Amino acid sequence: MFYVADRTEMQEIDRLTIEEKGVPGILLMERAAITVLEEINSRLKSINADRKLKCLVVVEGGNNGGDGLALARLLYQQGDIVHVCYINGISRVSDSFSYQLEIAKKIGIQVTDHIIDSDYDVVVDGIFGVGLKRDVAGIWRETIETMNGLGGFKVAIDTPSGVDASTGQIMGCAFKAGMTVTFGLNKRGLIFYPGCEISGEVVVRDIGFAQAEVDRVHPVAYSYNRDDLCMLPGRSDSSNKGTYGKLAVIAGSRDMSGAMTFAAEAAYRMGTGLVKIYTHIDNKEIAGVRIPEAVLMCYSNKDEAEQCARDAMEWSDAILIGPGIGKGDAARSMVEYIMCEAVQTVIADADALNIISEKPDILGRHRGPVIVTPHIGEMSRLTGVAIPDIKKNILEVCKDFSMEYNVVSALKDARTCVSDGRDVYINTSGNNGMSTAGAGDVLAGIIAGLVCTGLGAYEAAKLGVYIHGLAGDMAAEHRGRNAMIARDIVSAISEVIKGAEHDGQQ
């Protein structure tokens, strides 16, 4: 697990390290410059260490510019040709910047107020960094657009200028980097779209921020890596199928059989002991063929559907409801009954969420843990917030919704967020090949399976989203992003789990 900071959190960590731990800001600046130099050299001088680079470093008068000036000095001292463009568009400059500028001029680095050439091996952005709060305009926009038009290896210091470090939104225009070297912690704006698209390769380097101060600030957001697969529940040699839970899957309607099979098989692949599918009678034959491991109970009318809902509550340890059930009377009756009466964990997905959006008080009446898995459109219907506004601030929307209804929310997008209303997990696994029918049903089944095998609602949702993305990445590797389908993601789940077992993470 690794923290992901926003602008305010990172600035507070920086302040505490300097003011309370006594680490001089100029020392952090030097360390930052050294890390960027190392990353440039490892990419451009790994074969020929004597290669002389022609470098442009563009700076403004803040501490990000000070980092840039320190880097320019280090490049110059190792024999590279260095030109510094100091935009000089702000009236107040930091003391550290002034100090670095004086040194740069004294040792003979060329400093001008404009870009004097168009042929560089390296173009470095040291203009704004994480502190930017307003749209880029005027001379700064002109300079960034000129930089974007240059050739060479593009490097951003900490955050590409013009990217909101907290949201990833583009503030007017932004520097398009081939690599961003960011310090201490990764930043939200380098993970969320569209910021991540123009950040290039993101390298997180330690420059000496005190871990105690990071823990004290305790950033709201974090992400997982493969080490976190250790949270997968283990299996006992003396266990039986009852040990790993009973999952009720209320899914599928007339002409919508795929959703139930995707969800049920995904749950089984996650280790669930027994799955019972509750579905429309029209799906009886295909369920028996597609997933013979599952028990089946069918309905043909509203009364029978209500009986299915009662049976599901009495029989199961967890309930997944929604994939492909439609919005008819039978579906509405089952959703309202389960959401208001169930005491076991309920995973509400797809059509269940659309039904809830028309009667949101249902969600506020839940008795047991609830996980909701909306995509952006479904969240828009649930909240009344426009889709573009959700996409601009997906993390806060997810967190606020979870807090309002006391649920766990997995808000699905290119960067899915999961929240319990207090902190937020940002998912970084997965790929665009997962934009395919049925992928959401697979995710719901994965999460439900983790609940059945012993994880709490929040942990199951976070780990489920991460595993879903890893399975999608494996499916893309095998099939290609254009050709992969939901069944490929289901098939790849076993590879993820097997890999975790092999690595000793389970």
Residues that constitute the known binding site: 63-67, 125, 129-135, 158, 161, 259, 324, 375, 412-416, 440-441
Length of the chain: 506
DSSP 85: E
> How far is 377 from 301, CA to CA, in rounded Å?
29
Q: Are 289 and 262 in contact (CB under 8 A)?
A: no
> How far is 201 from 155, CA to CA, in rounded Å?
9
Task: Return the structure tokens found at 5.
Answer: 């900071």
> How far is 140 from 128, CA to CA, in rounded Å?
10
Phi, psi of 40, deg, nearest 5: -65, -50
- List C-alpha distances in Å: 331 to 124, 190, 317, 366, 371: 57, 41, 21, 17, 18
Which residues, other chains included, contact 438 with Cβ-Cβ below 8 Å and sequence gap of 6+? Answer: 258, 259, 262, 485, 486, 487
**Residue list, annotated binding site for (6S)-NADPHX:** 63-67, 129-135, 158, 259, 324, 375, 441
Name the residue among 154, 124, 128, 122 with its Cα closest to residue 140.
128
Angle at 305 between CA 301 and CA 310, to 5 degrees: 155
DSSP β-ladder status, 179-183 and 153-157: parallel
> How far is 290 from 109, CA to CA, in rounded Å?
70
Would residue 223 be called left, alpha or beta, if left means φ above 0 and alpha means ψ between -120 and 50 degrees?
beta
Angle at 64 between CA 58 and CA 70, to 5 degrees: 75
> How far is 36 from 68, CA to CA, in rounded Å?
9
**CA 119 to chain CA mean position, Å:** 37
Task: Return the structure tokens found at 187.
Answer: 């930043």
DSSP β-ladder status, 2-5 and 221-223: antiparallel
> How far is 209 from 206, CA to CA, in rounded Å?
7
Neighbours of 441 (CB within 10 A): 31
Q: In which element (H, E) is residue 217 found?
A: helix 211-217
Name the residue among 431, 417, 441, 505 with its Cα closest to residue 475.
431
- E-strand ranges in 91-209 read 110-112, 122-126, 153-157, 179-183, 186-187, 201-205
Q: Are 168 and 395 in contact (CB under 8 A)?
A: no
Where helices occur in 370-505 by DSSP H, the ranges are 376-383, 387-392, 394-405, 439-452, 457-479, 486-502
**Residue list, annotated binding site for AMP:** 412-416, 440
